[in-house]
Amino acid sequence: MHRGLTVASYNIHRAVGSDRRKDPVRIAETIAELDADLIALQEVETPIRDAPLVFLQHLAALGYEARLGHTLQRGTHHYGNLLLSRLPVLSHHRLDISQPGREPRGLIEVSVALEPLRLQSDAGRPAEAAPPVLRCLATHLGLSASERRHQVAAILATLRDACPAARDLTVLMGDFNEWRRKSPRLTPIDRMLKPAVLPASFPARWPLLALDRLWHGPGLELIEGSVVSTSATRAASDHLPLRARLRLRNRTDPVCESVVC
């Protein structure tokens, strides 16, 4: 039986926990416990002095390759998004989706090869002769509604720029800062990708708001998804992490038929 693909999204709040203690080693250990192949992180500080370097070193030792998507930089201090991958990274781009007068925001776009997972079709045969390529988009949207509206439009433009075959194998995840479960600003994304309807993730101690979101393309099937609430995740950040397990759909399914790029 194939492993499938596990993805996660986690706002780590600069490694500051609910006890107001900044502990990069604790957050690195909490991330490692997610055991995900791709992890989108928000509110990451790196590198500055020794502690955040330990954070990256700990995860690198577990086989994760880090792709930075920092949005703020002051000297050696970087802050913003980061994508961790245990899969071979084929390409990496950072798109600026900032709005004038607001905190800078970005979108990480990474393509990874799925071959090491030996993903299979529902029939049990290899899904494709060539290694399938997954496209992962990770972001952290702004605090104002008008800002998020423009940022969602930028994400939609990025999704439309891809051919249907690439869109089939796409995962979009991050902190979208939308308090309402059914936000009209996110409806256009729901029409293009399949939303994973998951429980609230913020605040970590008493989650009431679904700020953190995840979508996948029609070429992927959601096997299971959850908000990870443990004593460790409730202590390590003010958000709980999202985790989802996906697999490739059978390529003969009509929902997955698409043109070749």
* 24-34 helix and 51-60 helix, angle to the nearest 10 degrees: 20
Q: How far is C-alpha 66 from the chain's CA centre?
A: 13
pLDDT of residue 221: 96
Provide CATH code, domain 5-251: 3.60.10.10
Contact 64, 32 (CB under 8 A): no
pLDDT of residue 78: 82
pLDDT tens digits along 189-210: 999 999 999 999 999 999 999 9
pLDDT tens digits along 1-33: 245 899 999 999 999 999 999 999 999 999 999
Q: Which two tokens stand for residue 142?
A: 């702004």
pLDDT of residue 3: 56
Distance CA 4, CA 18 (A): 33
Distance CA 11, CA 126 (A): 35
pLDDT tens digits along 81-121: 999 999 999 999 999 999 999 999 999 999 999 865 444 55
pLDDT of residue 52: 62
Burial 1-38 (b: 16+ CB within 10 A, else e): eeebbbbbbbbbbbbbbeeeeebbebbbebbbebebbb
Query: Residue 35 pLDDT > 90, yes or no?
Result: yes
Query: Residue 165 pLDDT > 90, yes or no?
Result: no
Query: Residue 163 pLDDT > 90, yes or no?
Result: no
Domain ranges of the chain: 5-251
pLDDT of residue 206: 95
Classify residue 182 as exposed, middle or buried by CB count within 10 Å of its CB (0-12, 13-18, 19+): exposed
pLDDT tens digits along 115-134: 654 445 555 555 445 678 99
Which has more confidence, 52 or 86?
86
pLDDT of residue 120: 53
Average pLDDT of the chain to the nearest whole number: 88
Query: Residue 56 pLDDT > 90, yes or no?
Result: no
pLDDT tens digits along 229-250: 999 999 999 999 999 999 998 7
Beta bridge partners of 72: 79
pLDDT of residue 261: 36
Query: Residue 259 pLDDT > 90, yes or no?
Result: no
pLDDT band at 38 (very low <50, low <70, confident <90, very high): very high
Full-model pTM? 0.88
Query: Residue 182 pLDDT > 70, yes or no?
Result: yes
